[in-house]
Amino acid sequence: MVDVPPEIWHNILRFLPSSLVQRLYGVSRVFFDVAMNEKYRDVSLDHGDLECLWRKIGNLLDPHIARRVKSFRIAPHLIWEAQQNWTPPSQAATESHNLDSVDVCTPARQRRSQMAEALVKNFKHLTNTSSVHLNLTLFEDFPVLYLNSLWSTVSPVLQNLTILATTPQLRTLFPLPVAHFPRLSSLNITINRRADSDPLNPENEDELRHIQLAIASFANSVRHNLRSLSIQGPPGRDLSPFYEALEKFSNLSSVEFDITAELSTLPGEEPPIQSSLFVLRHYETIEHISVFASNLLALKRQALDTKYWYPRLKSLKLSSNILTACYEPTLRFMRIHTSTLESLELVGPISPLELDDLIVALSGDSHNPILSKFSISIYRLDLNLILKFAKRLPALKILQLRVMRISATGSSSAFTPGQYFPLLLPPHPGSHEFVTEVIGCRELKTWQLRDITISRPSCCASLTLWNLMCLFVECIPTISSFSETWTMDIPDPPNHKPLHWETPCCAEGGCFFGTDGLDSCPLSTSA
């Protein structure tokens, strides 16, 4: 290979996808370094395959590899279960590990000790890891002392920390053994409890309160650099103690919270919503708000206080049931923020009437709307709705639609689009009326949309409608990206069928993911 200056190689790499770069590691030293960085950028020890875990741990024993890791995910409870359920591998599989420091054919107790020692060695080399995702969702206690080494190593550089854990594990995890996290900017913690636990048991409530205060103490310790905070409790449980214990944060710009419990109080029993009060204390710095409520029927109070204006609010993510239950106040909140709101995501479907009112609210009264990203779930998609987006939201650049059905204008019937819809385009006599309308619509030619995503539920997962997205590319010339990938590449296959262990509802083989709807098969195989 001709000796080429590194800057030329780096310039070439800018135009190559990550998957291709990893296969071209032999082209040059620059390619090798970049390929290894991509390969080990995200490392996960969060599954129950013990042999695979050993292979990954063996790789990370090499400090040159471990230092390439930027994001690290670990699920100690799955590692523990894998050790408990482990059966000896074949001799060939054992020899393939090439780990001098471990032996997978040793007795269980010794093997657990070896793995803990290997993990401690791994953690000492994770000196460039800026993101950690810790999953501790086993209710029984089990030893995770090796995590102390992880905190000691990553604390100087850690920027993002996500913890999903049960109450027993959180009780032993906090306070963390390291007190100083000078660069931590994002904290995301989800608290799980037993489904059969009695919420009225004072011991359970005391335990949850104790955990909330411990987490709040940790959050306060990083209040000067923390920018994003998300704490999710058990469904319907009150997190007021956590928010009451929080101090003032210097640079907090993003918050996410579930307000089901706080909105469920009966009239006459309306204590202040502590999460809202906490957000209001930071109104000058808040740019992103995410609000969720898990139980529509429980909502009896206003979710968003419309007496205050957040001058920097750029994005809002909201459960659609909050819009339904707190209709007028929520629309009013959006209306007064049209001059700053750039992104809106509604999680869950809304009715056609609610959608019409929402679009009117987002259009603004005295200000030109600057909303550039809109994500929403709707029951029926037709040309009239698309034109409403184009006319009432002129600044829109990114549109994400989750649809159930499609219909032609004025039609009383609607159909479910398959993953290959539409297979036939005009002037083919078999093309659908909806397709003919969209292609013939001149108003869409001048819309400045840049990115589009259209999906719908199919059995147990979400199905991306790539062909339908391509149809809109033909009609809206400015679209240059799918699903915020900033490319128009379509994967092959276009939709991966979920694994059955990921979708328990389909575990018995009754999954119809991707096989339902009109044009569910490619043209070459369709009847």
Q: Which regions in the chain score pLDDT beneath 50?
A: 88-102, 104, 296-300, 525-527
Helix (H, G, I), strand (E, B) or coil at 76: helix
Alpha carbon 101 to its chain centroid, in Å, reads: 37
pLDDT tens track for 244-293: 999 999 999 999 988 777 666 555 556 677 888 899 999 999 999 999 88
Closest CA to 73 of 156, 155, 153, 160: 160
Residue position matching structure tokens 């923020």: 337
Beta-strand relationship, 254-258 and 288-292: parallel
136: tokens are 């501790």
pLDDT tens track for 45-76: 887 677 788 888 888 889 988 999 999 999 98
Task: Catalogue the long-range contacts made by 332-335 (C-beta closer than 8 Å, 24 or more residues apart).
Answer: 332/306, 332/361, 333/304, 333/305, 333/306, 334/358, 334/361, 334/362, 335/361, 335/362, 335/364, 335/365
pLDDT tens track for 382-411: 999 999 999 999 999 999 999 999 999 988
Note whether 177 and 146 are within 8 A (CB). no
The predicted structure's pLDDT at residue 297: 44
Adjacent-strand bridge partners of 293: none
The predicted structure's pLDDT at residue 298: 43
Half-sphere exposure of 377 (CA within 13 A, CB side): 15
The predicted structure's pLDDT at residue 15: 60
Amino acid at 186: S
The predicted structure's pLDDT at residue 96: 40
C-alpha span between 261 and 293 (Å, rounded): 8
Helix (H, G, I), strand (E, B) or coil at 399: strand
Find the length of the chain. 527
Continuous segment of H or E residues that includes residue 505: none
